[in-house]
Amino acid sequence: MSKQLHAHWSSRLTFVLAATGSAVGLGNIWKFPYMVGESGGAAFVLVYLVCIALIGLPILVAEWLLGRRGQKNPINTMSELARHNGLSRGWTLVGISGVLGAFLILSFYSVIGGWSLSYTLGAVTGEFSGLDADGVGGLFNGMLASPGVLLGWHSLFMILTIGIVARGVTSGLEGAVRTLMPALAVLLVILIGYGMTTGHFGEAMNYLFNPEWSKLTGTTVLAALGHAFFTLSLGMGIMMAYGSYLGEEVNLLKTARTVVIMDTVIALGAGLAIFPIVFANGLDLASGPGLIFVTLPLAFGNMDGGVILGLMFFLLLTFAALTSAISLLEPVVEFVEERTPLARVGATLVAGAGAWALGIAALLSFNVWSEPLVFGLDVFNLLDTLTSKFMLPLTGLGAILFTAWRLDRRSVQSELGLSGGSATLWQLVTRFVAPLGVIVVFVGSL
Ligand code: PHE
């Protein structure tokens, strides 16, 4: 069946960079910092870290372990592992839902990646210069109102993604993350350094880290749980696909610890880059697209050095989005490559073109096709809801249940190098705590 030897990461470092690149995305930049600030600062960070340790990290390890054992795309990995262990073929659904989820998310993720590209250019050409709040709002809404503009940027972003993935795991994915991740780190450090000069760094530190236990409620804990899951790109077949290129020598637990630490540090760093600028310019806090595409451009357009800082910020955002987008395309391409006669380039073109076409329906939701399709949701929100609320938690749940309850316990423990107390802890966490956590997120989000 296989046309060539299955690819492998050329080192543990590039694997770490690729996995971190996937994990660090829009969520780290437009969601996490704001969530921390609004939900209790250090108190929230603490809860979040517990969620990461008890839910995110075990599922991350489980997905890598499954992928590494299968050495195939997530769908074949699940069907073969099920067959191998004499289990129901129904487990294949976990792989199917993962690959499908990645495909669906990529379609609209690319639309937002396109916004980021557009604002990178906007920063260079000084498009925000001197604009007031209405001006930057008008700029953003103007972009959303134009199908042609959105299509152009979405297409460009998808072409970049396809261009990287088509070159394969070693030259494409590794080549990209080897350049983009260090660049991302450098940009982040410079932006934080700038934040320190604004005179409002302390305010940002206080906003992010001052613990306010009273702000911890059921809702904020639920948000921490959900984000711990989303930020590690779990339940999308991504980490399974990345695991399928892993060799036996890599220590999964240690590697997962590195990845979650980097993901969290970068997310907090993003807050230390963003909030000093927001506070120094006396702007109102917002979250999500509003913070990134309206509030920050307003600041960049009205401060000294705004052109260069704006350029650096939107490059950072674009790099974060691009390394996540390639990770979304990878499981789909791996599947097409292994299941059809197509080679890498053909498989990437087919998978990428499919997601691109679906992305057109998503981008029309902002303008000519904004009427709800079903359940009062337009295509963009339908894709978002279907994937993040349903497919991801259920896929992640399937992966952890399969690993904890269906695979031979001893072989998993020896693969992870666990014994004695640590083995018992792993057993407890993966069999009960993590699945329960996902179920809570799933039910809570409905
Ligand atoms: N982990 C990404 C983030 O935190 C989210 C993501 C990555 C979503 C890849 C989809 C695909 O932003």
CB-CB contact of 102 with 351 (8 Å)? no
Nearest CA to ligand 1 atom 2: 25
Instruction: Please tell me the distance between residue 414's alpha carbon and the centre of ligand 1 in angstroms.
Output: 30
DSSP state of 284: P
Sign of CA dihedral 11, 13, 16, 17: negative
Residues above pLDDT 70, as percent of the chain: 99
Tens digits of per-residue pLDDT, 373-427? 888 899 999 999 999 889 999 999 999 999 999 999 999 999 999 999 999 999 9
Q: What letter represents residue 242's amino acid?
A: Y
User: What's the whole-model pTM score?
Assistant: 0.96
d(CA 298, CA 315): 17
Angle (CA) 300 301 306, round 5° = 45
d(CA 46, CA 34): 15
d(CA 102, CA 44): 29
Given this model, what pLDDT does residue 5 score?
60
How many angstroms from the chain centroid is the CA of residue 30?
Answer: 12
pLDDT confidence of 10, banded at 50, 70, 90?
Answer: very high
Tens digits of per-residue pLDDT, 223-275? 898 899 899 999 999 999 999 999 999 999 999 999 999 999 999 999 999 99
Pocket of ligand 1 (CB under 6 A): 22-23, 25-28, 105, 109, 230-231, 233, 236, 324, 327-328
Instruction: Please tell me the distance between residue 231's alpha carbon and the centre of ligand 1 in angstroms.
Output: 6
Question: Which of 20, 231, 259 should be mutated for ligand 1, with most atoms under 8 A from CB?
Answer: 231
Nearest CA to ligand 1 atom 9: 324
d(CA 24, CA 260): 10
CB-CB contact of 32 with 259 (8 Å)? no
Q: Using H for helix, E for strand and C for coil, what is the string for 318-362?
A: HHHHHHHHHHHHHHHHHHHHHHCCCCHHHHHHHHHHHHHHHHHHH
Tens digits of per-residue pLDDT, 89-102? 999 999 999 999 99
Q: Which two tokens stand for residue 242?
A: 């990345």
Closest atom of ligand 1 relative to the 320 alpha carbon: 12
DSSP state of 285: P
CB-count burial class (<10 Å; 0-12, 13-18, 19+) for 213:
exposed
Tens digits of per-residue pLDDT, 110-140? 999 999 999 999 999 999 999 999 999 999 9
Buried b (16+ CB within 10 A) or exposed e, 265-302: ebbbbbbbbbbbbbbbbebebbbeebbbbbbbbbbbbb
Tens digits of per-residue pLDDT, 20-77? 999 999 999 998 998 998 899 999 999 999 999 999 999 999 999 999 999 999 999 9
Instruction: Please tell me the distance between residue 391's alpha carbon and the centre of ligand 1 in angstroms.
Output: 14
| Domain 12-445 of CATH type 2.30.30 | no
Give me the mean pLDDT over the 277-284 stretch: 93
Given this model, what pLDDT does residue 1 score?
40
Q: How big is the chain by its Cα radius of gyration, in Å?
A: 21
Domain layout of the chain by residue ranges: 12-445
d(CA 200, CA 9): 42
Tens digits of per-residue pLDDT, 324-359? 999 999 999 999 999 999 999 999 999 999 999 999
Q: Give the residue from 353, 378, 302 showing the smallest Cα distance to 144.
A: 378
d(CA 44, CA 215): 8
CB-CB contact of 264 with 232 (8 Å)? no
Q: Is 72 left (phi over 0), alpha (psi -120 to 50) or beta?
A: beta
Question: Which of 324, 328, 332 should be mutated for ligand 1, with most atoms under 8 A from CB?
Answer: 324
